[in-house]
């Protein structure tokens, strides 16, 4: 802007007007810059750092010195601790750094912390909910999905999350629930968790819905009944390998169910040669079991039976013909070893 000089009745004349930067006067028809009451030559109204005119007339002032936007950012504006860009406008100062409000987020769930507040945990900025979860994990406990408080007693699991049981009431009788409450899908045909409801144990038992012996949850589809209990199909598994039976035969022993292989491995007979369950007759010799057609000389593979004479060599059967072909010294050593530690093997039998 160019101020208009006045005469004797005015405020100021050209001979008394000076530039705020160079302290020189102005020519009568020279364009003058007026900024907050201070006058400048156009060539003097420049950035105090780079000495260039202000782009679009925009400048920043600090300690009575004017700077272009770029130099002001470089000299004075803070940099964001996340994106590294200059922070213009609102600055969040936290964790010994400066942040854009949208860049200051929880390091676990990435929710914005500028307005909700945060808690410093092990050098991390966490929202209150995530901090409660971390604290609960350290204590070996759960965090309520509704109030985000630590659950000191048994949690109530509902729709895949855990809660304080007292947040819910029975759908049937309205009583406040405890951790024994049961989750039931209210309408068939809906996806899991879409229309689930909670019932106290008493009301649930009146509904006659079977409870899985493994997960203790209601069974709403196919039911497996075994060992005096009900099971989800995928939860009725072998006590040894934990693989579901899915309708295949199982074997019971002392209140537990086993697949055929592990039942015979633990309590029955597996062939010493093929390591398969011996379904038919069992040939027993040298404290081992064989399929009848697998009991053979370990050298020539000649099939043997309970009437065939054989010898023990390295805990394996050897027929008489192969034994006699062994070096004399080896046979003598085997004989001495056998006499020194006689084995009380029962005679070979077929069961």
Q: What is the pLDDT of residue 186?
A: 58
In a domain, 111, yes or no: no
Of 29-38, 147-156, 167-176, the range with the lowest mean pLDDT is 29-38
Same domain, yes or no, for 223 and 169?
no
Give domain status of residue 97, yes or no: no
If 0-12 CB within 10 Å is exposed, 13-18 middle and 19+ buried, where does residue 141 land? Answer: middle
Place of tokens 């010898």: 311
Do 243 and 275 belong together in one domain? no
For residue 150, pLDDT over 70 is answered with: yes
Of the two residues 9 and 234, the one the predictor is more confident about is 234
Mean pLDDT of the chain: 81
Report if residue 13 sits inside a domain.
no
Among 254, 221, 217, which Cα is nearest to 239's? Answer: 254
Residue 325 is assigned to a structural domain of this protein: yes
Is residue 284 domain-resident?
yes
> If we measure between CA atoms, which residue out of 67, 88, 69, 71 comes closest to residue 79?
88
| Same-domain pairing of 293 and 311 | yes
pLDDT of amino acid 5: 39
Choose among 243, 217, 251, 242: nearest CA to 232. Answer: 217
Name the pLDDT band for 103 (thresholds 50, 70, 90). very high
Contact 37, 8 (CB under 8 A): no
Which of these three, 27, 43, 76, is where a domain ends?
76
Neighbouring CB atoms inside 10 A of 214's CB total 14
Domain end: 58, 76, 94, which one?
Answer: 76
Q: Does one domain contain both 230 and 283? A: no
Number of domains observed in the structure of the chain: 4
Among 217, 233, 267, the domain-final residue is 267
Q: Which pLDDT value is given to residue 3?
A: 40
Nearest to 162 by CA among 145, 185, 177, 150: 145
Question: Residue 351's pLDDT band (boundaries 50, 70, 90)?
Answer: low
Interacting residues of 12 by C-beta distance below 8 A, sequence separation 6+: 3, 5, 6
Same domain, 203 and 213: no
Do 274 and 338 belong together in one domain?
A: yes
The pLDDT-based confidence of 11 (bands split at 50, 70, 90) is very low
Residue 171's CATH number? 2.10.110.10
- Are 61 and 47 contained in the same domain? yes
Residue-range definition of the domain harbouring residue 309: 270-342
Note whether 151 and 202 are same-domain residues: yes
Query: Cα(269)–Cα(249) distance, rounded to whole angstroms?
Result: 17
What string of H, E and C letters represents the secondary structure of the chain?
Answer: CCCCCCCCCCCCCHHHCECCCCCCECCCCCCEEEECCEEEECCCCECCCCCCECHHHCCEEECCEEECHHHHHHHCCCEECCCCCECCCCCEEECCEEECCCCCECCCCCCECCCCCCEEECCEEECHHHHHHHHHHHHCCEECCCCCCEECCCCEEECCEEECHHHCECCCCCCECCCCCEEEECCCCCCCCCCEEEECHHHHHHHCCCEECCCCCECCCCEEEECCEEEEHHHCECCCCCCECCCCCCEEECCEEECHHHHHHHHCCECCCCCCECCCCEEEECCEEEEHHHCECCCCCCECCCCCCEEEECCEEEEHHHHHHCCHHHHHHHHHHHHHCCCCCCCCEEC
Residue-wise pLDDT for 74-101, tens only, equals 777 788 888 888 887 788 888 888 899 9
Burial degree of 62 (CB within 10 A; 0-12, 13-18, 19+): exposed
Q: What is the pLDDT of residue 13?
A: 59
Residue 280 and residue 331 in one domain: yes
Same domain, 287 and 248: no
pLDDT of residue 136: 78
C-beta of residue 112 within 8 angstroms of C-beta of residue 122: no
- Specify if 8 maps to a domain: no
Q: Is residue 9 part of a domain?
A: no
Lowest mean pLDDT among 46-60, 180-194, 292-306: 180-194
Q: What is the pLDDT of residues 291-346, one digit of tens each?
A: 888 888 888 988 888 778 888 888 888 888 888 888 888 888 888 877 766 554 55
In a domain, residue 229? The reply is yes
> Are 307 and 244 in a shared domain?
no
Whether residues 260 and 283 fall in one domain: no
Between 167 and 34, residue with greater pLDDT: 167
Lowest mean pLDDT among 228-237, 249-258, 266-275: 266-275
């Amino acid at each position: 802007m160019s101020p208009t000089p006045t005469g004797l009745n005015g405020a100021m004349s050209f001979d008394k007007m000076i530039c705020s930067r160079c302290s020189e006067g102005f020519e009568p028809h020279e364009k003058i810059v007026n900024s907050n009451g201070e006058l400048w030559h156009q060539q003097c109204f420049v950035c105090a750092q780079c000495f260039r005119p202000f782009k679009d007339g925009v400048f920043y002032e600090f300690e009575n010195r004017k700077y272009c936007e770029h130099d002001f950012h470089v000299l004075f504006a803070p940099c964001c601790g996340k994106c590294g860009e200059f922070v213009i406008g609102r600055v969040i100062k936290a964790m010994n750094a400066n942040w854009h409000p949208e860049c200051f987020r929880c390091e676990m769930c990435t929710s914005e912390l500028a307005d909700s507040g945060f808690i410093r945990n092990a050098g991390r900025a966490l929202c209150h909910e995530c901090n409660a979860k971390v604290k609960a994990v350290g204590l070996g406990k759960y965090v309520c999905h509704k109030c985000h408080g630590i659950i000191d007693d048994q949690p109530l699991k509902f729709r895949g999350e855990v809660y304080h049981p007292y947040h819910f009431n029975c759908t049937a009788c309205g009583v406040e629930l405890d951790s024994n409450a049961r989750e039931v899908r209210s309408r068939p045909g809906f996806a899991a968790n879409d229309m689930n409801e909670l019932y106290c144990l008493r009301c649930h038992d009146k509904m006659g819905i079977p409870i899985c012996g493994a997960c203790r949850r209601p069974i709403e589809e196919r039911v497996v009944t075994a060992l005096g209990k009900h099971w989800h199909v995928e939860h009725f598994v072998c006590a040894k390998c934990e693989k579901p039976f899915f309708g295949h035969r199982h074997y019971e022993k002392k209140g537990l169910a086993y697949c055929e292989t592990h039942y015979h491995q633990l309590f029955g007979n597996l062939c010493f040669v093929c390591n398969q369950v011996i379904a038919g007759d069992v040939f027993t010799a040298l404290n081992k079991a064989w399929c009848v057609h697998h009991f053979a000389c370990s050298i020539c593979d000649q099939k043997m039976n309970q009437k065939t004479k054989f010898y023990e060599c390295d805990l394996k059967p050897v027929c008489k013909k192969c034994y006699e072909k062994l070096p004399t010294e080896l046979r003598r050593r085997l004989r001495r070893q056998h006499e020194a530690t006689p084995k009380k093997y029962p005679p070979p039998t077929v069961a």
